[in-house]
Amino acid sequence: MKPFLVDLRTHAWRTAGARYNASRRLKRREWVATSSLALLSALSIAVAFGQKVYAKTASPLDDYLSVVAMGLGVLLLVISLLEWGAAYGARAQELFTNAELLTNFQRKLALKLVALDRGTVVSLEEVESLRLEYEVLKDRCTSNHHPIDDALFRAEKRLDPTFRVGQSPGGAVQMGMLRACCVHVEWLVAELWFFGLIWILVICALVYAFSLR
């Protein structure tokens, strides 16, 4: 019974850790989206003001800034609808709450393992009940974490015996330092590349406008 309970506790530990990471990732996406939308809104006003002050009527710069202003307006509308539909904030909170429940379940299993070490008998029915409880808790969350969230958890805990060869304290680590650093970078940019691409396009469009003066 003990090896099964140890394995079940490890699964609960990894799932909780991955969902904590997923919650953090989605909260960062929500913050970046809100900040970008605010800045793009201010930028669209600045473009309209610059067009009025610096561009001569019917000049190439005037026509180009009209297109840029219209493009920014459409971009703001599309991004706002996409972010609203994705509901990153609500999903992040749901994942965090589920991770907390899984953490409490993991502690419950830890007490069961201590009881086993002290000679307490745990029946097959109790073990099956614990397994079903884990499945119910895991499936209660409608949003699941991504593989990169679990990879980050393994990178953060790579020195733990669980993630060493043979699952022993003296075993070789399965994930090297370089790979762990790459996972951290990949996790950081997982939700930022979209807005990074948008800002590159916007900056290039503005730089081109200066060449038309």
User: Is 178 domain-assigned?
Assistant: no
Q: SS3 for 173?
A: strand
pLDDT value at residue 67: 86
pLDDT value at residue 17: 95
| Mean pLDDT for the chain overall | 89
pLDDT value at residue 213: 65
Can you give the residue range of the structural domain that contains 83? 2-146+190-211
pLDDT value at residue 182: 94
pLDDT value at residue 170: 76
pLDDT value at residue 64: 84
Number of independent structural domains in the chain: 1
20 has pLDDT over 90? yes
User: Is 48 domain-assigned?
Assistant: yes
Backbone angles phi, psi at 173, to 5 degrees: -70, 140
User: Global pTM?
Assistant: 0.87
Q: SS3 for 59?
A: coil
The alpha-helical segments, DSSP class H, found in the chain are 2-54, 60-86, 88-117, 124-140, 147-156, 177-189, 193-211
User: Is 151 domain-assigned?
Assistant: no
pLDDT value at residue 39: 92
123-178 pLDDT tens trace: 888 999 999 999 999 999 999 999 999 999 999 999 888 888 877 777 888 888 99
